[in-house]
Structures are given as structure tokens and as C-alpha cells.
Structure 1
Amino acid sequence: MHEVLIGLLLFAALGLAALSGAVKAQRGIRAATHQSMTGYAAYIQYMQDKHDLNRFGIAQQLRRRLGGLAVFGISYHTIGLLGGAVVLYGPAILTGGPSVLGYGWPILALLGLSVSASLAELSSAVPTAGGCYHWSSALGGRKWGWRAGWLHIAGYTSLFTLTNIGCAIVIYSCLSNRLGYASSAVTMIVLLALITVSQAAVHYWGARAMRWLLSGGVWLHIAAVLVIAGGLMALSWPGLYSSEMLYSRLPAAESHGVSGLSGSLSWLIGLLWLQRLFIGQDGAGHGAEEASDPRVRVPWAIYLSSVYTSIVGFALLAFMTLSWMGRSAPAPGESGSLFVMMVQAAWSNSILVLLLIAACIWLSGLQAMGVLSRSIFAMARDHSLPLSRKLAYVEPGAHLPIYSLLASAGMSLLLGVMLYGFFSQEAIPFLAAAALISLHAAYAIPIALRLRAGERHALLQDRVWHLGSWSRPAAWLSLLWLICAGLAAALIWNRWAGAAVLGGFLLSQLADLKYGSRHLAAMQGMLRRTQEEIIGIERKFPQQ
């Protein structure tokens, strides 16, 4: 019984920390000189947002029309609760045992909440589409921005690809149930290509409907979670296992035939699998140039998306784990589809429920593509990438960085075809580890620079959303966790992913020798832009 009490205390600490952080942030907003104009007139708010952007020498080229729920939807979709659970739930539970969820999840959530709060503060200080790249550039200079930007692109390419593989797995399950398709890498690659191409098409031709997709997608995710939970309840009731099983120290890795791992090491690897659901929350920061009142709404989206995922994700996966405990376990090779198998069992292989889940994951991939494209666009705008002129081009009619979107789709599809075509199931742990390592490093850079700069830095003084006296302790905790978890993923979980990220990072530093001088010149030129020059650019992109 004491195991359950400890678990409940950890979860209570999570709830208290989330609520206390929100209260501190709201007090900071009230004490700030910033005044939101959303309650007065959209045009007044737009002019205020444009003025904040122009201070960085950046013209308003993207269409600014996203409200609070739509901005929240960016971060929530890029975290991807359902998409992540499809590929990570099985490996996490079968490797680390039920306690990796009972004890591990609240700990991960508390640390993830600290990271989210630190990133939220940075997004409030620098409300641009560059995210980690711009935050690091503003606090540490061009080279640190370059490093964070390349790591962020690598991380989101892996995250985007992994999400679409999860979507393909669910769609394949539908086809397998109805048409009897046998498993093959070719089928998965074709599905992956169709998914990626459809997302690129919606980004281009459905740009004006994007805010409705973002807002509606949030409600669709909520509906899917309720449907899954209802099915599991009908499947297990009244024979649900005792909640004590969720906190058991069952050596799941040994009992399911996974050899060569000690109990503690397998638990740590299971924990790292779950950590995938606590990255991607910075997605809203890349929508800052398209959001109304981004200095308030973007940080809230980053913070609250983590809170929602922490609470709802725990409830869903804990209930699924207790439902699964009394059923026969799948073979270790099928562990990645344990989530889908449980949903199929709960709903008697209903294709409608699987299609609902696939739609939610497809939306997560859609927003991961959008975030990746904005990251590429922001770096190309500063002439720091190959083909920068093309990648920085914004189509006047759609207000979209069309070539950055195409590059995002192409990189993800190429990575997915190469990995899944040649390595099949090994692609999933590689992509999950690569996303975690890259994004942890990308997040750690601006947080470390923020600690070095101190509270008196002009940009940090300009924050609207902040935790006050809790800011520095939260930043230190976040930095230590990001470093430790990133190193554990690279050295213990998947060394091939660690080597690949390190190799990519070294190549980016070599590329700096070629593009560094023009990158510096472009950044200096942007900061020297006059208001007349900025207005001249903005005339080509009327906001309608």
C-alpha cells in the first residue's frame, strides 16, 4: 500500500507544482508593463504584435491570425500524446515494467514542467518564429544561435518522421484487419509517403483553414482519449487489476525475454522511452509570428500543453496498463504496437476508432511539419543555410514559406524511407533517441545562455510571462535534467543515435566555415533595417 501512497504523493506534487507555476506566471503578467489589446480591437493588437516583431528587424510576412486555442494546439500536437503512445508505450512498459509509469511518469512530468516554464519565459522575451535559434542568438550571439538552430532542425526532422511512422502503423492496422495485408516494409514506406505528401498539400492549399485545424484538432484529441478510455473500461470492468500493480517492481525486461539488461538499467531505458512525450512543447514558439498577442499566448501554450499531457497522458496510460496486466503479453518484437493492440481489443477491431486515432496522429505530424518549416525558414531568412534565398521565400498569396515546407517534407520522407526501408523496427528507437538527444541539446543552449546572462539582461527584463523568483531555480533544474537525460539517451539507450547526432553537429560546424560570414552580415543588416525598409517589405504581404 505504501507504493501507491508514494505514487499519489508524486502525482499530487506534480499538480501542486503546475498550479503554483501558473499562479506565479499570472502574477508576472499582471506586474508587467505589457498590455494585451485582444479585448479591444484585432487591428490594435496586430499593430502591437507587429511592432514587437519589427524591433528585431523582422518584417511581418506570415499571416497573423492564430488565437489562444490554436496556439495551444501547435504545442499540444507537436508533443503528440497519441502519436507518441503508439510507438513508445509498448517498449517503455515491456522494458521498464509498470513502475516506470507509476513512479517515472510524475518525475518526468515535474522535470518537463520545469523545462516548459523555462522555454515559455524565453518565448515571451523573443516572440519570433526562430524559437531556440533566435533565443540563443539574442542571448549568446550568432554562433550559439547557429548551433541551437541546427540541433533543433535535426530534432524536429526525427520527431516529424517518428510521428508519421506512428500514423502509418495505425493505418496499416486498419488495412490489415479489413484487407488481410501482410506486414512489409514496402507497404509502410508507401503509407509514409502518402501521409507526408497529404500533410504538405494541406499546409499549402489549406493555409487559411489552419487555425480551425489546430483548434478542432485539440477537441478531436480529447474525444479520442475519451473513446479509448471508455473502451478499456468496458473491456476490463469489473476485473481491473489493483492500482498497486502500477507501482510494482516487476522485472518486465526479463519476463518478456529482453536479455542483457539489469533491473535498474532497463527501468532507466523505459523512462527514456516515456521522455519522448515531454519534448516538442516549444512548438508554439515557432508560431509566434502568426499568433495574436504572442508574448502572452505562446508561453501559456508551451506551459499548459505540458500540463495537459502530464495529467491526461498519465490517466490514459495508467488505465491501459492496468487493463493489460491481466491479458497475455505480446512478443517483444511486437511491443511497439501494444497501444494499438489494446485499443483493438477494447473496441473489437473497430476500424472507426483506429481511423480516429490515425486522424489525431496525422494532425500531430501536420503541426510537426509546420514547426520544422518555420525553423528552417527563420535560419534561411538570416542566410545561414544552403539555398537560403529559396528557403526564405514567402509566397505573398498564401503567406507561407513554401520551399521550407517542401524541404521539411522531403527531409522527413527521405529519412523515413532510408531508416524504415533498411532497418525496419530498429528505425523507431533510433528516431526516438535522436529526437530526444537533439532537442534536449537545442533546449539546453538558450537556457544555459539565459543563466549566464543573468536577470538584468535587457531581453529578460522585457519578459511578460515569467516565474519571478522561481525563474533561475527552474532554469538550473531544467538545464541539469536536459544534459543528464540527453547523455543517458546517447550513451545508454541508443549509441547509434548519439553518434548520428554528434556527426551531424560536427558537419554543421564545418558548414559554418562556409556560411558563417554571410550569416553574420545578414544578421547585422537585419538589425540595421529602418522602419521604412521594413514597411516596404510588408507591403507585399497585406494582412487580410
Structure 2
Amino acid sequence: MTGTYEMETSKGDSNGPPSAELNIERLSIESISRRKDSQIERDNRELERLGKIPVLKRNFAFMSMVGFTCTVMNTWEGELLLFTQSFSNGGSAGSIYGYIIVWLGTLCVFASMGELASMAPTSGGQYHWVYMLAPKSSRKFMSYLIGWLTVIGWQAAVASLGFLSAQLIQGLAVMGNANYEPLAWQRTLLLWASIAFGVCVNTVISTALPKVEGLVLIVHVLGFFAILVPLVYLSPHNSTEEVFTVFLNEGGWQTQGLSFMLGMIGAVFNFLGADGAVHMSEEIQNAAVIVPRAMVFTVLLNGAMGFGMLIAVLFCIVDIDAALESPTGFPFMAIFEQGVRSERGAQTMASILVILMLCGTVSVLASASRMTWSFARDRGLPGWFYLSKVNPKTSIPILSIALTTVISFLLALINIGSSVAFNDIVSLTINGMYTSYLIGNSLLLWRRLTGGIGSYSRDNTGLTNVSHDQLSWGPVRIPEPLGTMVNAFGCAYLLVMVFFSFWPTAINPTAETMNMSVVMVGGTIILSLIYYAIWARKVYTGPVIEIS
């Protein structure tokens, strides 16, 4: 019998019984499918413990989410785009040491936020965490205010990335045609086109978004080496002393230390957005574990690549004055051309950044729309009844994507009147997001110092992490006392950076160089308070418990 069975199974022809290999392969596929379904069931139960009904499809895994967050942050790309600010206030040495501080501070911030994401992996993120951690007397209002700041911060981020993509395209055009003069209305049309590309990917091929993000991660890494290698190999190199010891104070500040602090704000912008994974939590398998890991891994990976690109550029600068005065508007384009001694080569290298910035628009639009949808689901926004709808066929919040698109298109019109005014809109990204990070992380520090957070238990079937009297850690937690140290350092870092984010880049600023972000943030807060007084206080009660 044994010999007969071996003979039959070894034939493997189309007329005979299926081979043992095929049976094993089928069983393996079925086993993987059952494990996947089991994981999704556990994720849905975890979400139900937070009082939410699962309505989105969990299509993302670890690598696709790393690709997602890496393209939201675009750290090494941002180091090239925002080179002027960090170099003018700090010089070569200030850029390097400021970057290291921002990298370490950001890592601590997102490590603590990873603990919060593990406790409550919902698309709401910061405003949900504030509600569950804050004192009962103030949790409703604090949660509402943080929800608005986070929504506005992400809306501004979409417009910001579209604006940078449009500027890059115009910069490339100037490289290829010195007679071309970039016009504001053309930049606005290019911004609209960039946002439209992100909308197309998020709606027409939304089911393929995880695969797209995995592919973008590959381009993100390969693009880094495609620029770094020819730049370092072909460029003449500055001395180590010039790179690591020379500080600048082009802003005219009273002290070099003050100039150094302001120079760090450029690096801060390049590390924004890892919490994009948080707002996609309800579309991620094993979100309580994957989201914290993806955020921390992204900060480590992007931070390393950003640092490598920064060092390479500082060593390869040939003529810094010519680079800063480049007609393209981007010094890095002139640095590329000086280094590789080829206009076409420099254009090719710069084109990689255009592609990656467009891909970043896809990810930022997805995060912004999920954040908007989540806050609308909890009745924090005008028109919440409609914005909280999810398309039953695609399981994506179409109306929230549409609102995000309309807001970005309207913000783009400001650029026609004044690019300076639009830059103030862009600054909302740092102010809004960092304020939400600061409040959430500070409340976590307060709770861990005063106690009240119970141990993690997967077997708990009741509501958890909905309010301050039902707190428990998630499956991912930093062991003590390291957790408290990381949390405290992250809060101190955020406090300093929020303070300096409202400063101009030069002393005695004019109307064109003044940082008006305090007006933008103040206007957002006033608008939210008016809506709260008129209507929201009647309907917003914090994260809505959808499951009794």
C-alpha cells in the first residue's frame, strides 16, 4: 500500500489524483488564510473593547505600513528640500548637531506614542488618548481641542506636500530652461495636480494601496542610494573641520545658541508624520503591535538615511553662496549640478525627489482623511453625520477624502496672492501636530507617575481605555524606569520645539519673513471654540461608545 501511494502521488499528471506537494501547498494556503482571519477577528475584538464598530478593511501589514510612514515623513528628501533654513541658522556644524537632537527627541516622542497606540489603536489617535488620560473635569474639552488641532495639522500637511511637489517641478523646469520664470498660478495648478494624483490612488485603486506603499518603500530606499552614491563619488570634498566645526548665524540673532535652536525647526518638519500609522490603525492587522513598531522603525530608518544625506551634502558643497542663490529656489539642485558636473544628471537625481514627494502626497492624504473621518465619527466636526460615512463597497471614507481635497484646493489659492501667506498655512503642520503630541505625551507621563494604568490582559472583554477609570497598558510597553525617562525627555523636547516653532527665521522680520503661525493657530482655536460654544458642546461627548 505504501509503495502504491508513493507511485500515485509521484505521477503528478492532470489525469491522476493531486500530488502530495499540491495537497501540502493547499493546506498551507488554507492555514495562512485561517491565521489571517483569526488575527482580524482579534483586531476587531480589540477595537470593540474601545467601543468602536469595525467598518474598515484591514489590508495593511508591517512592511506596507513602514512604507506608508516613511513616505509621510520623507526625512532624507526633506533634508534636501529644507536645507536653507537649517544651514542659515547653524551652519554645517549646527545642522549636524541639531539634526541629532531632533532625531533623538523624535524617537523618544514616538516611542511613548507607540505605547499609547498600543493601548488604544484607533484612527482618532491623539484626541482619543487625551480623553482617556485627562482628568474627568477637563477631558471633554481638551479632547475636542486636540482633535481640531490634529485635523487642521493634517489638512495643512496635505497642502504642504502638494506645494513642495509643485515647487520641485518648477525648479526642475528652471534647471532645464534658464529663461523659464515660475509663476504663482502655475504653481497652484501643479499643486492641484499633485493632490489629484493622491486622490486617484486613494479612491480608484484604494484596494492596492498597501502594495503601492510597499513598492514606494523600495523606491524610497533605492532613491536614497541613487542620489548619495554619485554625489559622494563625483563631488570634491570639504574638510572635516569645515563640516563639523563651522557655525553660522545668518539670521542676525544675539547669540549663536538662539540661532542654533531656530535652525532645528527645519529638521523638525522632516520628522513629522510617523503618527500617520496611528490614523490608519483600523486598517492594519495586529495594530496594537504593528503601529508602535512601524513608528519607531520608521524614525530609525528615516533618521539614519536623513543623517547620511545631510553629511553627504555638507561634504560635497562646492560653492555655498551660488547654491543658496540658485534660481530654482532649491540649493540642493545647484549642489547636485556642482557635484556631478552634469545638468542632465542633476535633473535626473532631482526627479527622484519629485516622484517620492508625489507618493508622499498619497500617504498624507490617506492619514488626513482618516483623521477627519474619525473625529467626525465622534461628532467633533460640522457635518459629522455625513463625513462619518464609509462607502459600503470600498470601505473607505469617500466624503472625508473629498473634504480634504477641497480644503487643500482652497488653501492653494492663497499661493496666488502670496507664497509667504501660504508658508504660514504650512507652519500649521508643525504647530498643530506638535501641540497634540505634547498634550498626549504629557498626560501619559502624569498617569504613569501617579499610577492608575493596569496591566495588559488579552482576555479582558469589557470596555478598556475609554476613560480614565478603565486604563490598561497595551501589548507594547517600554520597561520601567526607561519608559518614564523616555517619556519625560520627549515631553521636554516637544515643549522647546513648540516654543521655537513660532519664531521667525531672522531678527527684525519684515512682513514677508514674519512667522504668522501664531495667528493661524490662534485663528483655528478661536474657530473651534466658536463652534464648540454654539453647537459642539451639545453633541461632542468624547469618543462615542458605539457598542453597549
TM-score of the superposition, structure 2-length normalised? 0.83
**Structure 2, unpaired ranges of 5+:** 1-30, 455-464, 466-470, 506-513
Q: Of residues 128, 147, 150 in structure 2, which corresponds to 1:149?
A: 147
Structure 1 residue aligned with 2:132: 138
Q: Of residues 329, 337, 354 in structure 1, which corresponds to 2:330?
A: 337
- Larger relative helix fraction: 1
SS in structure 1 opposite 2:202? Answer: helix
1:421 has 2:426 as partner:
no
Structure 2 residue aligned with 1:310: 303
1:514 has 2:508 as partner:
no
SS in structure 1 opposite 2:201? Answer: helix
Change (3 A) 1:330 1:340: closer
Q: Of residues 480, 489, 514 in structure 2, which corresponds to 1:477?
A: 489
Structure 1 residue aligned with 2:74: 80
Change (3 A) 1:126 1:479: same
Q: Could you report, residue by residue, the CA deviation over 1:230-285 in whole angstroms, capped at 9, with x for unpaired residues?
A: 2212331xx311222222233251xxxx5566533332221112111222111111
For residues 489-504 of structure 1, the aligned pairs below 5 Å read 489-491=501-503, 493=505, 495-504=515-524
Tell me, yes or no, if the aligned pair for 2:325 and 2:331 is still in contact at 8 Å.
no
Whichever residue aligns with residue 172 of structure 2, its letter is C
Q: Could you report, residue by residue, the CA deviation over 1:121-158 in whole angstroms, capped at 9, with x for unpaired residues?
A: 10010011111122112222322221111111122222
Structure 1 residue aligned with 2:358: 362
Tell me, yes or no, if the aligned pair for 2:316 and 2:339 is still in contact at 8 Å.
no
Structure 2 residue aligned with 1:176: 174
1:442, CA displacement in angstroms?
Answer: 0.7
Tell me, yes or no, if the aligned pair for 1:159 and 1:432 is still in contact at 8 Å.
yes
Tell me, in whole angstroms, the C-alpha distance in 2 between the residues paired with 1:226 and 1:431: 33
Change (3 A) 1:346 1:330: closer
Tell me, in whole angstroms, the C-alpha distance in 2 between the residues paired with 1:217 and 1:476: 34
Tell me, in whole angstroms, the C-alpha distance in 2 between the residues paired with 1:412 and 1:265: 34
1:334, CA displacement in angstroms?
Answer: 5.9
1:60 has 2:54 as partner:
yes
* Mean Cα deviation higher: 435-444 or 450-459: 450-459
1:397, CA displacement in angstroms?
Answer: 1.0
Q: Could you report, residue by residue, the CA deviation over 1:3-30 in whole angstroms, capped at 9, with x for unpaired residues?
A: xxxxxxxxxxxxxxxxxxxxxxxxxxxx
Tell me, yes or no, if the aligned pair for 1:91 and 1:336 is still in contact at 8 Å.
no
Structure 2 residue aligned with 1:26: none
Tell me, yes or no, if the aligned pair for 2:159 and 2:412 is still in contact at 8 Å.
yes
For residues 3-402 of structure 1, the aligned pairs below 5 Å read 41-140=35-134, 141-178=139-176, 181-236=180-235, 239-251=236-248, 253=250, 259=252, 262-326=255-319, 328-331=321-324, 337-346=330-339, 348-350=342-344, 351-402=347-398
Tell me, yes or no, if the aligned pair for 1:370 and 1:405 is still in contact at 8 Å.
yes
Tell me, yes or no, if the aligned pair for 1:84 and 1:166 is still in contact at 8 Å.
no
* Mean Cα deviation higher: 503-512 or 331-340: 331-340
Identity percentage of aligned residues: 20
Q: Of residues 461, 481, 490 in structure 1, which corresponds to 2:472?
A: 461
Whichever residue aligns with residue 463 of structure 1, its letter is G
* Mean Cα deviation higher: 493-502 or 438-447: 493-502
Change (3 A) 1:468 1:486: same
**Structure 1, unpaired ranges of 5+:** 1-36, 531-544
Tell me, in whole angstroms, the C-alpha distance in 2 between the residues paired with 1:150 and 1:98: 37
Tell me, yes or no, if the aligned pair for 2:262 and 2:503 is still in contact at 8 Å.
no
1:219, CA displacement in angstroms?
Answer: 0.8
SS in structure 2 opposite 1:241? Answer: coil
Whichever residue aligns with residue 477 of structure 2, its letter is H
Change (3 A) 1:413 1:144: same
Aligned length: 484
1:300, CA displacement in angstroms?
Answer: 0.5
Tell me, yes or no, if the aligned pair for 1:90 and 1:338 is still in contact at 8 Å.
yes
Structure 1 residue aligned with 2:435: 441
1:527 has 2:534 as partner:
no
Tell me, in whole angstroms, the C-alpha distance in 2 between the residues paired with 1:202 and 1:344: 33
SS in structure 1 opposite 2:396? Answer: coil
Whichever residue aligns with residue 539 of structure 2, its letter is H
Structure showing greater Rg: 2
The RMSD of aligned alpha carbons is: 2.4
* Mean Cα deviation higher: 114-123 or 346-355: 346-355
Tell me, yes or no, if the aligned pair for 2:105 and 2:490 is still in contact at 8 Å.
yes
Change (3 A) 1:522 1:152: closer
Tell me, yes or no, if the aligned pair for 1:86 and 1:166 is still in contact at 8 Å.
no
